[in-house]
Structure 1
């Protein structure tokens, strides 16, 4: 059994073209807000306005609640994984929510102090762009310690800083510089610049995991929303489009956070499709190698379970299985088969005189000589200490006697080298039985072969008895 990774891989050209096409589609999708900005800029009257304070307050309230919810989910992910990127994302969402909320609260001030109403939007986007850019630079860094994650003083310090920014924006709104053209543009331009640098850095670092792709598209939306805010004026269509673009990026990034929450609680541990396929191929390769090794091990175990470990001959269990198979075949087609029962003569004397190691080598060489003397499809098995059996398929009694005699002569004709400095003379006694003639059960033919082996022993050993 094996597992194969699909062959017939597409050509490198097709792969290159499809990858390029996918990147173009992704880039085109990320730049959709730019097409809308260009349309309004060139084809819409910038003086057309939709001023609705209640709608604006409702939209900002919804955005603030959304920001608070995403901040909490992001913080939970950070507490569980300790990923530094999630820490900075949490601070980015938190800072945006605390500052942007006042943009809605002071909607009613639009006719009294336009800057108190207007500056909180760019301030919140600038703070968020700074924090998430820092977060991207920490992508794949080592996880923060549990102590750092649980340090509430750090979070309290950041909240205090965001409140201080709120107060500072209020102070600027009532200062003479609030009406200077560069004030709002500098904040919005800073957010645009940082978000653009963020995207460029992401591309240069070749970070292509799914969640970071979502991150990149979201940051692109943040940059384009700042561009739209710079081009628009309060309440006109470009200004409302800027809000919609930023909201789209915010919702998309929050979707990434939720995806992280439901998977690994981390942005850096979600793999791209290419990485998943590479890991799958690697895992399948390991599985295939493991299966092959398991198959080899099973074959080895099966061989060990059916083989005498000393001589390599079949053991008694395998021999009985083969004899039963031959009985079934003989009953089906009438083909004869015979058995040889073999016993080395005076083997105890060999062990006592030369030692058990020499006796073991004699047994090993005995099996080798037996195999040389029998036919390729015959089988030899060790069924006792020095007792062996030979199965002879397609052999009647006369043929079996001849093979037995060949074995006897081969054993007696050449002294055994047992690595003891002198050869050992070995002989073997053999009893022969034939299925059908001497019985039609395994017990009957085994018993008959053993009886004739016993007769061979009593007739002087070193002989074959077949009747």
Structure 2
């Protein structure tokens, strides 16, 4: 028994409207930070500040620990799947943490050297946005070889590069050009540009997997965070909002990484709802086809297990089962039934004179003669070399005798023609037993039918013995 599931297709207009609605919801959610930025830009005094060094240091420390954890999880996913995107994501997270760390460490220097405190933030976001764009451009490329994934040298070189960036930012922060507006804007503006390019590339490539949707929302948050940093000033509410927006994007992206780690450990092997439904439909179709094929195979096996392969008649096992069913019915309803035991006369001579191939063809023609002579619901079985049995439901002895004579006459009066066109004369001897009259068990009925068959043989063959 198989179970099938069907999903009713919604009207096209409803499907289109719901798809459009879901797109607007995603866009609206991704742009929530933009509403907050606009609110602060137009309705808040930019001179209002919240300067709390301890809070900032604790927040940076928490962000660093969280960044290190996400970096490790992303790296583990990369080791498993080898996706280049995950390699660049790992480098992006790691670069952000290592370049961003001095931003918290130098919080206490904010009054002495504001640029040493301030420039590490945009530098870390610029590094991360560049690496994430490189990762997006590598999406769906061939996975890295296994032996390349865990080699320490590339990772050590990347860490060294991030340390060099830290030193370079420190040098710039202590140089005369640190106070020029273009220094901070070039880094923050670069992060904004690269994050925006990330979003544009994602849309142009039409990448719609669930995790890449999370990736797109996160990159949008990073771009808007850079915009808020450009509009804000140190310690004012826009500046703090920029931190919150970037943290939100980072958390959302880390959620995608964790989901990949807990499932396929791959960004590209997580499927959308449409893909899942399509794959489910394909799997169900394959399962249904396999079940149907299994049923056909089972029917074939049942047929092979119950059929004589040469003649197509039932075999002895199947015949015994049919007789058992008929005995149960006779005991329940009181209806009689009879058995015919048939044996081809002098069949050994046919094999000796004509060969076994002709003998096999004679057996096949004999079964067909029997089927033509008996009733449609009677059954023929081959129980030995040239020995056959016929089950006659609802047939008392006299009816059975009449059917047996019809079979004997059909075989004796017409020669059996083989495939080669050779005519072979054959006769058959028949013994009959009736349920109730001659016994009420299979063994008894078979024994009585065999005894009467032997009597027919000894009485000259080509005859029917019923009593």
What TM-score results when the alignment is normalised by the length of structure 1? 0.97
Matches within 5 A, 1:145-164: 145-164=145-164
2: CA distance between counterparts of 1:3 and 1:287?
10
Alignment partner, residue 9 of structure 1: 9
> Where do residues 10-89 of structure 1 align in structure 2 (5 Å cutoff)?
10-89=10-89
Give the equivalent residue in structure 1 for 2:124.
Answer: 124
- Following TM superposition, by how much is the alpha carbon of 1:168 offset from its aligned partner in structure 2, in angstroms? 1.3
In the alignment, structure 2 segments of 5+ residues that lack a partner are none
Q: 1:323 matched to which residue of 2?
A: 323
Q: Distance in 2 between matches of 1:331 and 1:256?
A: 71
Shift, 1:343, TM fit: 0.5
Alpha-carbon distance between aligned partners in 1 of 2:184 and 2:142, rounded to the nearest angstrom? 37
Residue 204 of structure 1 corresponds to which residue in structure 2?
204
* CA apart distance, 1:150: 2.6
Shift of 1:295: 0.8
- 1:395 aligns to what? 395
Alpha-carbon separation, structure 2, partners of 1:433 and 1:170: 111
Q: CA deviation at 1:421?
A: 4.4
Distance 1:422 1:263 in 2: 72
Q: Decide whether aligned partners of structure 1 residues 328 and 146 sit closer, same or farther in structure 2, where only a CA change above 3 A counts.
A: closer
Deviates more, 1:130-139 or 1:331-340: 331-340
Alignment of 1:298-337 (within 5 A): 298-337=298-337
Residues 362-404 of structure 1: per-residue CA shift (max 9 Å, x gap): 0011111100111001011111110111111111111111111
The two structures, once aligned, show a CA RMSD in angstroms of 1.4
* Greater shift in the superposed pair: 427-436 or 106-115: 106-115
Which range is displaced more, 211-220 or 7-16?
7-16
Matches within 5 A, 1:157-172: 157-172=157-172
Unaligned ranges ≥5, structure 1? none
Instruction: Give the Cα–Cα distance (whole angstroms) in 1 for the partners of residues 433 and 71 of structure 2.
Output: 89
1:3 and 1:284 in contact (8 A); partners too? no
1:357 aligns with 2:357: yes
TM-score w.r.t. the length of structure 2 is: 0.97
Distance 1:12 1:410 in 2: 69
Kept after mapping to 2: 8 A contact 1:85/1:136: yes
Cα distance in structure 1, aligned partners of 2:377 and 2:277: 49
Partner of 1:450: 450
- 1:335-360, Cα deviation, whole Å (9 max, x unpaired): 11111111101100001111111100
Please give the residue correspondences for 1:258-297 in structure 2 after superposition, counting only pairs within 5 Å: 258-297=258-297
Q: Tell me the SS of whatever aligns to 1:111.
A: coil
Contact 1:33 1:245 in 2 (8 A): yes
Q: For 2:244 and 2:419, how far apart are their aligned partners in 1?
A: 94
Whether 1:377 aligns to 2:377 is yes
Q: What's the CA shift for 1:55?
A: 1.1
